[in-house]
A = this chain, B = another copy of it.
Amino acid sequence: MKAIDILKNLNLKRTSCREGIIEVVMTANEALSENEIRERLAGNYDRTTFYRSFKTLIEHKVLHKIVVDNQLVKYAIDNTLTHKDEHAHFYCNECNALKCMDNIPVQKYQLPEGFADIETEVLIKGICANCRN
């Protein structure tokens, strides 16, 4: 699916900023930070526009957002075709890459009486295969 079609299907205006973000994130094989996305992008957009685009795309479930510590935010495609609904994320302490582990589903945790769970985030920190060599 192309970026333009994703926007069209969601009845969102096809602006170059939105289109560019989707394309960059879709072709990356890891989650990218705001700056990593901007570097790979042709146009030069205001930070406000960037944030508003992220917000819109997250609301429409085109992207999802993963926070590592704080001050470290990454975005990834949230396409149900390629990603499991609730998958674990892996963060490499060495190269700072963040990968969606589509094959690692999140376990359901048993909560105490009265607690209702809505979503569960799992972030595994460690060293990735690349950095171990």
Which listed segment binds B: A23-31, A43-51, A121-129?
Answer: A121-129
Given A67-B67, A70-B67, A70-B70, check contact A111 B127 (CB 8 Å). no
24 A-B pairs whose Cβ atoms sit less than 8 Å apart in the complex: A67-B69, A70-B70, A90-B111, A90-B115, A93-B118, A101-B109, A101-B111, A104-B111, A107-B109, A109-B124, A113-B129, A115-B127, A115-B128, A115-B129, A116-B127, A117-B124, A118-B125, A118-B126, A119-B124, A121-B121, A121-B122, A121-B124, A121-B125, A122-B122
Chain B proximity of A74: nearest CB distance (Å): 11
CB of A82 closer than 8 Å to a CB of B: no
Counted per complex, copies of this chain come to: 2
Residues of A within 8 A of B (CB): 67, 69-71, 73, 88, 90, 93, 101, 103-104, 107, 109-129, 132-133
Contact A109–B115 (Cβ < 8 Å):
no
Contact B122–A120 (Cβ < 8 Å):
yes
